[in-house]
Every structure is written in C-alpha cells, then in structure tokens.
Amino acid sequence: MNQITTPPRLEVIPESAPFSEGQRSWLNGFLVGLLQLDGSVPLSPEQGAAVLQGVAGDGDDGEAPWHDQTVPIAKRMKLAEGRPLRRRMMAAMAQQDCGQCGYNCNDYSDAIAAKSEARLNLCVPGGKETARMLKALHEELGKAPAGAPATAAPAASQPGPAAAELGRSRDNPAPARFVSRRLLNKNGSEKQTWHIEFDLSGCGLDYVVGDSFGIFARNEVGHVDQIIALLGASHTTEVNGKTLRDVLIDDVSLSPAPDELFELLSFISGGALREKARALAQGEDPDGDAATLDVMAALQKFSGVRPHPEAFVEALEPLQPRLYSISSSHNATPGKLSLTVDCVRYVIGKRKRFGLASNFLAERIHPGDEVRVYVQKAHGFALPQDPKTPIIMIGLGTGIAPFRAFLLDRRATGAGGKNWLFFGHQRATATSSIPTNSTR
C-alpha cells in the first residue's frame, strides 16, 4: 500500500488563504506537527486526503489560476473546470477583489456555496456575464446532495463581528453628513474630478488610510419620472407599501436592464417583439445593441409594452452601493472624510448617460444632507507599520485618492519615511494641484 512518509514540504494552508507568508508558514508547521504529517506517523493517501479535506473543506488545493481580471470569463471557467462548485463560482466573479460585494472574490463564492449568502448579484464589475454564470452554477448547488463538498466552505467566508457594527458593512450603513464639493479641474478639462467632503462626527465612524467608503446613492428624480411615464403609470402608484417614485429612486438599479426585465417583456408581448425580448433575456444580442440597454432604453425599445409597476419593480436589480477610496486621513482631520471622485458621463445615441453615484456626489446632494455610508476595510493596502520605511506609490490610471490619504497621514503622524508617487493623468495641465505637498 502506498504511504506518505516524509514529504519535502507539505503545504496544508493554500497560498490563496488570507494569511501573510510568515503566518502561513507558521500555520503549515503547526498543522503538520499537530497532525503528524511530518512522517512521524505515516499516513495513507486516503488519510492525507481526509486531512486536507478537513482543512480546506473539500480537498481543493486553493490555487486560483483564473484570478486575473484581464482573463475573459469563458477562459476563467475553463481554468476552473473539474474544481468544486465554490471554486467555479469564484472563477465566475470579476477577479478584482474590489470589495464592492462586501467580500473578496474567494470569500463571496465560498459564502454562496455555504449558503450563508443568498444574493447572487453583488459582483458589480462582473456585470451580466457573472450574474448569468452564477445563476447557472447556483442551480447546480440546489441539486447537490446535502453535505456534498459543493456546499462545504472554509469558515473564513463568514462575515466578521465588525461587519455587524453600524457603518462597517454594506448591510448596515450609517448616516453621514455631506459637507461640500469642489471641482479640481481647470476650465476646458475633459474630466470632472471632485473633492468631496463628509462629516462623520454625527455617526462616530472612523477609518484608516487605505480603506474605502461605500455610498448609497439615489436615482435622479427626472430620470425616474421618465421611466414612470414610459410605464404609463402614476408616480403615486403604491408598490411594496411605498410610492412607485420612491421605490425607483431608492431601491432599484436603473442601469443595465436585467435579464428578468426582458423575460417580463417577453411574457407580456407577442410575435417578433416577444422573440426579441426572449433572445435578450437569454444573453443574445439580436439587434447588436444589448450592451447599451439600461432600464429606460429597454422600455423605449419595447415601447408600447407596458409592464405592471409591481411586476416591473420585481424584475429589477436592487440598487447597489458604490465604493470610493478615502482620500483623507483620520489622523490629520478626525471626524472628517474626503473623496476624490471622477464624474462618469457619456453619450449613447442621442441620450446622455450619467453614472449614478459619481453624479449624485457631484450634483445632486446638498451641504447638510445625510447619505447612507459605510467604511469598507482594506485588505493589505496600507502604509507600512514602520513610519521610517520609504514608500513608492504607483497609481497610473487608478486615481489619486488613496495616495493623497497616505501622504496626509504620514505628514500628520510625522512619519520620517520618504514618499514617492507615480501618478498618470490624461493631460499635464488640466487639473489644479491637489494639496499633497508632504511629498519629499
């Protein structure tokens, strides 16, 4: 019978586990010793597999070759073929570890597989491709026998206790007061970048540099009223105990039209329109315009097909919060928080499209207004612990916000380390300077 005697270096903790190299190495040694995997008591391959099963949940080796946001979804799914369901679910995510879903990609998929997370639509950067793939994989989960590896997931996928505190997760936002906004660009700039300030003293939230700020924006009332007109409904129509207008402003996304909306449109139309709506619901693109169809454009495309307001709202996705890197330091300005926000605006056909949260912050809230917010903790994106350590910050194309925060923090704490920032922008001259003069 084959036996494992003294393996060169048994890695019990996968490389993707959320530990530093030092922690991983210590835990590996600890578990190898504890479980006597070092050969003092030889294990059979079956026993070895059972031990790994116990640690990782399903014996997966923890490798994630698909974890690269530039790899298209079809290739990611190919790379995950034959893996447990939770790993294939991870491959379906956008691989940005951006935190918008409240997890990283690995933990979000583990939570879905463990059935501790029921929402399949939280991966905003993954868009419809991810949503469709997750839906298909989730059906597989429903068929898996109870206790099968597909449903097992490491405990790391459970939200930590801090997430339950007010303002510490997207599920428990706190009210923060909007203070001011200031345009950073000079006249004629191709971009609109805003310095936005919030007062946190009322809600008592704090943060460290590197963290992000989650914002629950509201849809614009004029846009909502146009949608209500396309439905041929009244804004006072009651839906879920609220007016239709309030539901459309606060509760649902009016951005990409979801498959469920096309399904609804296919149910209540006929002939060629029905076929078209059905094709769109299945991810096909009969007229080559699928990528441009937000909720309003979908209603305009199927003008005359008027869903009942209740069914319409049910077919839409919930409104998602947006994350912004915090560009201030709590050490420098306690109780205050700033963001640096680029306005998203573009034109499709004859209609101007406005990014929801960036335009909400740039135009639609007023000093003194309360906004629902939360602090999203950064994982591994922070200043070095030793204030004397020099840092090189490279933010080509990503935005200046977190680096401004790092610089402000180092100045406020009198950190002696040198700071070097590489930052890219479309034009050298079109922005006024942001006060980051602590660079040395």
Binding site for ligand FAD (CB under 6 A): 98-100, 212, 255, 322-325, 340-342, 344, 346, 355-358, 399, 401
Distance CA(296)–CA(302), nearest Å, equals: 10
Written as six digits, the tokens of 114 are 């463990």
- By beta-carbon proximity to ligand FAD, the closer residue of 335 and 395 is 395
Written as six digits, the tokens of 238 are 């009651």
What are 374's strand-pairing partners? 214
Helical packing angle, 85-92 and 105-113, nearest 10°: 140
- By beta-carbon proximity to ligand FAD, the closer residue of 166 and 291 is 291
Q: Are strands 174-183 and 193-199 parallel, antiparallel or unpaired?
A: antiparallel
Distance CA(109)–CA(74), nearest Å, equals: 17
Q: How far is the CB of 53 from ligand FAD (least distance, A)?
A: 34
Q: How far is the CB of 145 from ligand FAD (least distance, A)?
A: 37
Distance CA(339)–CA(359), nearest Å, equals: 13
Contact 304, 264 (CB under 8 A): no
Q: Is 194 helix (H, G, I), strand (E, B) or coil?
A: strand
- By beta-carbon proximity to ligand FAD, the closer residue of 79 and 356 is 356
Q: How far is the CB of 103 from ligand FAD (least distance, A)?
A: 13
What are 243's strand-pairing partners? 238
- By beta-carbon proximity to ligand FAD, the closer residue of 87 and 170 is 170
Q: How far is the CB of 399 from ligand FAD (least distance, A)?
A: 5
Q: How far is the CB of 436 from ligand FAD (least distance, A)?
A: 14
- By beta-carbon proximity to ligand FAD, the closer residue of 125 and 335 is 125
- By beta-carbon proximity to ligand FAD, the closer residue of 59 and 127 is 127
Q: Whose CB is nearest to ligand FAD?
A: 355
Contact 202, 196 (CB under 8 A): no
Q: How far is the CB of 211 from ligand FAD (least distance, A)?
A: 9
Neighbour count for residue 364 (Cβ, 10 Å)? 16
